[in-house]
Amino acid sequence: MTADAAHPADTAANPADNSGPLAESPFLLACRRRPVPRTPVWFMRQAGRALPEYLRLREGVPMLESCARPDMIVEITMQPVRRYGVDAAIFFSDIVVPLKAIGIDVDIKPGVGPVIADPIRDAAGLDALRPLEPGDVPYVTEAVQGLVGELGATPLIGFAGAPFTLASYLIEGGPSKNQERTKALMYGDPDLWDRLMGRLADITIAFLKVQVAAGASAIQVFDSWVGSVAPEDYRASVLPHTRRIFAALEPLGVPRVHFGVGTGELLGLMGEAGADVVGVDWRVPLDEAARRVEPGKALQGNLDPAVLLAPWETVERRARDVLARGRTAEGHIFNLGHGVLPSTDPDVLARLVDLVHEAGSTH
């Protein structure tokens, strides 16, 4: 097989093969709950405003424009890998990129987040959500292919937003503290809710498949704001849709990570949705999280990102505690409990990576 003829998924480096340097990377081994030479570590939002080189590159380029330029995507994705030596790269994009790609009028306002010009609140609004085709996001395919070449044995994590979190932006029209309109629709019009969630799940599946087809070795589904939903409502109104996403990805053979904020009461259900790895925020210690998920799941997390603003001695003590508790899980990927805060000192993140690596293996 010649290299140029091979689709990334056909090469020996394909993580689905369970062989080759990529498949033997600590991150993919931990996702599969296999023994690791050292605990792998990466950070949600490791690319971004904490890095001066990111701020320089992004100067004058709107967020969503940078997500449509393969050269910028590749460079921004690589920046934290070079600087920190993390065990995985996460594709530089945003959860609203596939929505923009199908024609939704969405902008990311600095310091605010995604803002939707015409919120979706009725059946007519659903028409705006057409299916996503790979041809809608050629820049994603091109950037993933470029990244896989540059990253070598470091895995690339593809990602997408989960339907609930995407629905919350579409319904509220922007960021929202309590997702009240979203939940009102979920409670009050289950039929419209299911149709909306179904369309969003299809878009998420298509966006993730594009990334895996181009060579991403794992995927993470962010349901950042689903923590506002009670377990029984999650089971009835959210779980069927996320379960369909993870089931659709299963044949691709890449590990699937599922993460949300404030999801302590939902960890078991998020595992049941079909994730291989459950991401945990900082509110639930990992040993307790390990009890809350069913057997057969690895955990990812969960140092409070705000700890990184405290003196190093505190960071070290807290990080060692996360590692110790992570040892009780079947597999552990060290991460923060949510994204890197923009005011974080990059040198502290670099030191934290070294600490996790030097602490050795937790499994």
Q: Say if residues 276 and 257 touch (Cβ distance below 8 Å).
A: yes
Residue 164 binds ligand CP3, judged by CB under 6 A: no
Q: Which residues of 17-26 are buried (b: 16+ CB within 10 A; e: fewer)?
A: eeeeebbebb
Residue 155 binds ligand CP3, judged by CB under 6 A: no
Cβ-proximal residues to 189 (8 Å cutoff; 6+ apart), any chain: none
Nearer to ligand CP3 (CB atom), residue 40 or residue 363: 40
Which residue pairs from 13-21 have beta carbons closer than 8 angstroms and sit at least 24 positions apart in sequence? 13/153, 14/253, 15/155, 15/217, 15/218, 15/253, 15/254, 15/255, 16/252, 16/253, 16/254, 21/152, 21/153
Choosing from 94, 136, 202, 276, which is the catalytic residue?
Answer: 94
From 23, 95, 167, 273, residue interacting with ligand CP3 (rule: CB under 6 A): 95
Tell the smallest beta-carbon distance from residue 159 to ligand CP3 (Å). Answer: 5
Tell the smallest beta-carbon distance from residue 325 to ligand CP3 (Å). Answer: 22
Residue 222 binds ligand CP3, judged by CB under 6 A: yes
Angle 149-45-251 from CA coordinates, rounded to 5°: 55
Q: Say if residues 73 and 91 touch (Cβ distance below 8 Å).
A: yes
| Distance linking the first and last C-alpha atoms of the chain | 36
Tell the smallest beta-carbon distance from residue 112 to ligand CP3 (Å). Answer: 6
At which residue do the structure tokens 């994204």 appear?
339
94 is catalytic: yes
From 14, 25, 39, 46, residue interacting with ligand CP3 (rule: CB under 6 A): 46
Tell the smallest beta-carbon distance from residue 46 to ligand CP3 (Å). Answer: 5
Residue 282 binds ligand CP3, judged by CB under 6 A: no
**Size of the residue set binding ligand CP3 (CB under 6 A):** 23
Draw the binding track, 324-353, toward ligand CP3 (x: CB under 6 A; -: no contact).
---------------x--------------
Q: Say if residues 204 and 243 touch (Cβ distance below 8 Å).
A: no
189 is catalytic: no
Q: Backbone dihedral region of 355: left (phi > 0), alpha (psi from -120 to 50 degrees) or beta?
A: alpha
Judged by CB under 6 A, which stretch of 43-51, 139-147, 277-285, 300-308 contacts ligand CP3? 43-51
What stretches of 214-345 show up as alpha helix (H) in DSSP?
A: 231-237, 239-249, 267-272, 286-292, 312-326
Residue 163 binds ligand CP3, judged by CB under 6 A: no
Site for ligand CP3 in 51-70 (CB under 6 A): 58, 63
Residue 140's nearest CA partner among 227, 209, 59, 234 is: 209
The DSSP code for 165 is: H
Report the catalytic residues: 45, 49, 58, 94, 169
Per the annotation, binding residues are 45-49, 94, 169, 224, 338
Per the annotation, binding residues for substrate are 45-49, 94, 169, 224, 338
Write out the residues near ligand CP3 by the rule CB under 6 A.
44-49, 58, 63, 90, 92, 94-95, 108, 110-114, 159, 165, 222, 224, 339
